[in-house]
Structure 1
Amino acid sequence: MTRDNRLIWHRVGATSGDGGDGGHTAILWTARFLPFATAPVFALMALMTALFNTGQANAICLAPGSSTPINDMVVMYMLMAGFHLSPWLRLVARRTRR
């Protein structure tokens, strides 16, 4: 850890007020595992949007008579899930190298 990073962690941890380690454990845990939550959450949002799409919100956007379960929001959520796969891919790459 560089000197600048130590100063940043110290400043952030000093504001937590938990009295233990200055919040370093919670901050490091969050920084390490939060990126792993984004891809599954976006995938779940895409699935929920596709399954429970009532079409009411899309009435303005769709042409008359067009009711496809994969609308623009599903595509956007799928793209966001794909863009946030990098932590998972790095984890798999590390485990396959061992």
Structure 2
Amino acid sequence: MLSAEPGATERWIEGAVETRLRRQSVFQREDPPMYWALLDECALLRPVGGREVMREQLEHLLKLTERPNISIQVVPLEVGCHSRSAGRLRPRAG
């Protein structure tokens, strides 16, 4: 996916991968944060990397949901547009 980014160089991709892996370490802490993700069903239907890569990704997500602090929910296609479609939280009132 990173290689599809316009202007992506090998060096940039390596740096982006390192950054993502480093960010994931927060979930290895003794008191990890709660994480709740809404995953659009489209993401599960788009075969990025091929069948084997997709299978490994899904297995990884399933394993993550075994942790008490991680929740991943799939938003079905028939829902259409929903309040989290833009990928950000609502602004706070006041």
Q: TM-score, normalised by structure 2?
A: 0.22
Structure in which a larger fraction of residues adopt strand: 2
Instruction: Name the one with the larger helix percent.
Output: 1
**Greater Rg by CA:** 1
**TM-score for the superposition, normalised by structure 1:** 0.21
